[in-house]
Amino acid sequence: MVAGEVGRPGIRGPGKYALLGFPVRHSVSPQMQGAAFRWAGIPASYELIEVPPDQLGAVVARLRDQAYAGWNVTVPHKENVLNCVDEVTPEARAAGSVNTVVNRDGILRGHSTDGYGLEAAVRESFGLDVPGRRFLFVGAGGAARATAVWFAQLGAAEVRIVNRTLGKAERIAERIRAVAPGCTVRCVAGAEPAGVVSALSGVDVVIQATSLGLHADDPLPLDVALLLPGMAVMDMIYRRTPFLLEAARRGCRIADGRGMLLHQGARSFELWTGCSAPVAEMRAGLEAAVAARA
Q: Determine if 34 is a binding residue for ligand NDP (CB under 6 A).
A: no
Among 81, 84, 114, 252, binds ligand NDP (CB under 6 A): 114
Query: Catalytic pick from 19, 31, 46, 78?
Result: 78
Q: Determine if 224 is a binding residue for ligand NDP (CB under 6 A).
A: no
Bond from prior residue into 242 cis (ω within 30 degrees of 0): no
* Minimal CB distance residue for ligand NDP: 141
Task: Specify whether 78 is catalytic.
Answer: yes
Total residues interacting with ligand NDP, rule: CB under 6 A: 25
Q: Determine if 211 is a binding residue for ligand NDP (CB under 6 A).
A: yes
Among 5, 238, 240, 274, binds ligand NDP (CB under 6 A): 238
Q: Determine if 113 is a binding residue for ligand NDP (CB under 6 A).
A: no
Q: Determine if 163 is a binding residue for ligand NDP (CB under 6 A).
A: yes
| Cα(117)–Cα(56) distance, integer angstroms | 24
Shortest Å distance, C-beta 78 to ligand NDP: 7
- Among residues 200 and 260, whose Cβ is nearest to ligand NDP? 260
- Among residues 197 and 214, whose Cβ is nearest to ligand NDP? 214
Shortest Å distance, C-beta 37 to ligand NDP: 19
Kind of pairing between the strands at 253-255 and 134-138: unpaired
Show which residues are catalytic.
78
The footprint of ligand NDP (CB under 6 A) covers: 75, 114, 117, 139-144, 163-165, 168, 209-212, 214, 236-238, 257, 260-261, 264
